[in-house]
Amino acid sequence: MTIFLGVDGGGTKTEFVCIDDTGRTVARALTGTTYHLQVGLDEAIARLGQGVAAVCSQLSIQASSLTHSFFGLPAFGEDATIDPQLDAACGRLLGHGRYRCDNDMVCGWAGSLACADGINLVAGTGSIGYGERNGRKARVGGWGEVFSDEGSAYWIAIQGLNAFTRMSDGRLPIGPLKSIVGQTLGLNTDLDICARVMGENGMTRDEIAGLAPTVSQAAEAGDEVAVAILDQAGSELAQMAQALRRNLEFADSETVLLSWSGGVLTKQLAVRNAFLHHLRQLAAYEIIEPRHEPAVGAALYAKLLDRAAAE
């Protein structure tokens, strides 16, 4: 049996998908995030093991029987100490060397464009862009939530929380966003937000990112500050696409294939519309709806890797 495993790690969850040689999905599993900066290296590896074991159980096979695997892992490629440990752990889980680890950005590109040359923007808990052209590969963004990840759910949420504090102070006119954030967080007083977000039992990265829909809700209620935040998110993502276009050396006259993945661009229509609006002002792109979800993309990439190894 020919089986390709794709693993799409994310800031909130990790998906495991197996496909056969025809591309048909034959097994699926889901675990929590494998973002090691949040859950620790040991827990990330444990969750990878749980997912691999789950799909293998569904197929009644051993991990060593998997034809080829691809692990798209959050923050992979960004730590010369941790990366080899993650890579080696994946090899131990499989019991062979027919696999590759890379950043989860590859999953989004491989799924959205079915491994075709072009660009994919990921805006989920974090944000990152990835593309390929004639074997050339490039990434932009993905620097992390502390000082980057523009256009991501975390970034949108932080801008919303910042606007809440400004409205509370009187530095911004009070709009619907203030009451929506207060209700969502269950605040008795505005200052309660400090302990709620940053206190001893404060919010995790993905919990903060989960506040992004409150900004969309405020924008729908007519909050001008929230509308501006979502528009800026779209503009930031468009600039990432444009940087990728240059880094991949697409000619100005070329129409570049572009798609997206991640909860912000798939579920928050206001951000996607802003993204596409700003993008069209910059250069020629052919915008396509994602052809496959990222986890399926990871499995397709595993199949591509297997084919390349055989040549």
Which residue ranges make up each domain of the chain? 4-114+292-310, 118-290
Distance of CA 210 to the CA centre of its chain: 14
Determine the CATH number of domain 118-290. Answer: 3.30.420.40
What pLDDT does residue 229 have?
98
- Tokens of residue 142, six digits: 């993905």
Average pLDDT of the chain?
96
What pLDDT does residue 301 have?
97
pTM (two decimals): 0.87
3-state secondary structure of 161: helix
Q: Does the structural domain 4-114+292-310 have CATH classification 3.30.420.40?
A: yes
What pLDDT does residue 128 have?
94
Residue ranges of the chain with pLDDT lower than 70? Answer: none
What pLDDT does residue 212 have?
97
Do the beta carbons of residue 6 and residue 26 sit within 8 Å? Answer: no
Query: Considering just the CA atoms, what is the radius of gyration of the chain in Å?
Result: 20
Q: What is the pLDDT of residues 4-54, one digit of tens each?
A: 999 999 888 999 999 999 999 999 999 999 999 989 999 999 999 999 999
Do the beta carbons of residue 212 and residue 268 sit within 8 Å? Answer: yes
What pLDDT does residue 1 have?
86
Contact partners, residue 169, CB within 8 Å, separation at least 6: none
Q: What is the pLDDT of residues 126-146, one digit of tens each?
A: 999 999 999 999 999 999 999
Q: At what angle do helices 153-169 and 176-185 cross, to 10 degrees?
A: 110
3-state secondary structure of 204: coil
What pLDDT does residue 250 have?
96
What pLDDT does residue 241 have?
97
What pLDDT does residue 4 have?
98
What pLDDT does residue 275 have?
97
What pLDDT does residue 69 have?
98
User: What is the rounded CA–CA span in Å between residue 298 and residue 15?
Assistant: 10
User: What is the rounded CA–CA span in Å between residue 58 and residue 231?
Assistant: 44
The β-bridge relationship of strands 68-73 and 99-103 is parallel
What pLDDT does residue 15 have?
98
Alpha-helix runs per DSSP H in 186-248: 192-198, 205-209, 212-220, 224-247
What pLDDT does residue 5 have?
98
Is it true that 4-114+292-310 and 118-290 share their CATH fold?
Answer: yes
